[in-house]
A and B are shown apart, each in its own frame.
Chain A
Amino acid sequence: MEILLVIIIGLLYAAGIYMMLRRSLVKLIIGLILLGNGANLLIFLLGKIVKGKPPIIGASEKMLGEIYADPVPQALILTAIVISFGLQAFAIILIKRAYKVVKTDDLDEMNATDEDL
């Protein structure tokens, strides 16, 4: 399971960076989304994967058993997902506006900010 996750995370990071290096705006956003997912899985992986041991204290016990699944990474991932949901919604609307205003999808042609005014 771990080795599979490692490969997937590597692929997601690689694909994300590759997509970000394209000149198209849409691919840029897709790249960012892939990178974000890679980072989320990385948190999940590095939080140590434990199967079938939920962090719940039984009625008769006072403490958790020796090995249990760490709930913190899941909380972190959930937070990160919610945040990236908002950011991606904004980014998508932004590229839509940009396409309307600049009339191109090509990053190389967006150089109005370098004009010497």
Chain B
Amino acid sequence: MNNPYIVLPVILQLFIAILLMFSWSSKNIQKLISVTGSLIALVISLLLLIKVDNEGIQIMQAGGWEAPFGITFVADTFSALLVLLTAIAGLAVSVYSVGSVRNARIKFGYFPIFHLLIMGLSGAFLTGDIFNLYVWFEIIIISSFVLLTLGGEKAQIEGAIKYVTMNLLASVIFLTAIAILYGLTGSLNMADLSLRVAEIENRGLVNVTAILFLVGFGIKSAVFPLYFWLPASYHTPPPAISAIFGGLLTKVGVYAMLRVFTLIFIPDTFLSTVIMVIAIFTILSGGIGALIQNNIRKVFSYLIICHIGFMLAGLGVYSTLAIAGAIFYLVHDIIVKTNLFMVSGLIFKFKGTYSMRLLGGFYKEHPKMSLLMAIPLFSLVGIPPLSGFWGKLLMIQGAIDQSNMLVVFFIILGSFLTLFIIARLWSEVFWKDGPELPEKKHIKYYNALKPLKRKAMVGSIVFLSLISLGIGFGAEWVMRLSIKIAENLMDPTLYIQAVLGN
């Protein structure tokens, strides 16, 4: 169904960014615009999801050029759901930034670039054109480069070099893959590609192209063995920025993989074996990496990698249930990972350190705050009925149906590793008696913050915690959506019909 308004989430973010650039010098107006704008974006995305869920796939042909000649924007349930999640995480981080980002960073354009990043994310989720996807990826990475280096501390710059190099390399590989795909098919529209790739006789060449896509998206979503840039960079910027990175950036890669490997390249035995092996090693290396870390933000960084492995395993099993599980897990992971990095920032504001060895006694000092922080931590572990449980349950069911016991084993192993890591983090940070920490002069502690800033920081964590509780207790609703999405991914006829007309 043709609907020119599905690009509104993208246009709105660009408009907010432009308004923010006009009010470059006034930080209070910037904060106001950013929060209000994110709120409007949330409403629009919610309306979009409801519309798509009720009326089916909505498309927009940019410039009125019919597919497959023009650039098509497609809002199916999957895209709309992810746009909604982006808006939720965007709102939370925007509010959190009001409380936690320093004025010097705001002066260098933190808020406009943050909204450009959200624009890129929404665009990447909505586009139905493979080259356009590349362009949105570039918008995402260039905004993330600036956010990562804003402030210019030594660790930030060093982390940024690794991040920039690997992401630029991923873009080049992605571009190479697009070039070969265009040479093979002469089309860029994903629905059209789906039909044309199926007709190619030379399957070897198709598989090589698929592997190039896998590597390109793999670097972006930090899978084994291409993840080393992630733990080297995600703990260096301010917590608000880590939150949006940890929550959304790697997930765009997962989204792209789920989209490309269900629509364009249907995995044969070889490809699904490759994906499965990668997934297993990703779970293992992420989990084991997190075990030995001492900095809580690094622990969370490695946990991102571990849980990317879960979603990839869902894709590797390649059945409706398993993919539904991966999508449920994706929904849960975006909210919880964003929340966890914000929690780590709040802990830093209280204690002035991220080191688990130095932290301690948090429960004794701030019992209410600790209970709040327990929600995202235990959602991550997936204690039923919290949100992490359902996604894994679906994936394990899917894997058992396909009698793929290896994947079942590693998903359970990964869950136990996560449980152990979070239990250790809980006892180190919250329960053990910590040493007295010296007051550091350059840190603005929580107690020295203005009440509004405190409320902004805690409020955004409460907001995301409520949402992740909502996902856990309202699992039926999310599960219905995930299964619907998975069915549409496994059988893309509806998608192709919506885009190409007949």
Contact = CB atoms under 8 A, between A and B. Distances in A.
Interface of A: 20, 25, 28, 32, 35-36, 39-40, 42-43, 45-48, 70, 72-73, 76, 79-80, 83, 86-87, 90-91, 94-95, 97-98, 101-102, 107, 110-117
15 contacts: A32-B165, A32-B172, A35-B169, A42-B179, A73-B182, A79-B135, A94-B161, A95-B161, A98-B158, A101-B152, A101-B154, A112-B155, A112-B158, A113-B233, A117-B295
A83 to B, nearest CB: 5
B172 A72 contact: no
A87 B163 CA distance: 13
A91 B164 contact: yes
A107 to B, nearest CB: 8
B169 A90 contact: no
B168 A32 contact: yes
Contacts of A98: 157-158, 160-161
Nearest to B186: A70
B138 A87 contact: yes
Interface of B: 131, 135, 138, 141-142, 145-146, 149, 152-155, 157-162, 164-165, 168-169, 171-172, 175-176, 178-180, 182-183, 186, 188, 232-233, 235-236, 294-295, 353-355
Contacts, number: 104
A97 B149 contact: yes
Contacts of A97: 149, 152, 157
B146 A90 contact: yes
A111 B169 CA distance: 20
Contact of B172 (A39, A79, A102): A39
A28 B169 CA distance: 11
Contacts of B152: 97, 101
Contacts of B176: 39, 42
Contact of B182 (A43, A102, A113): A43
Contacts of B182: 43, 46-47, 72-73, 76
A94 B157 CA distance: 8
Contacts of A28: 165
A113 B172 contact: no
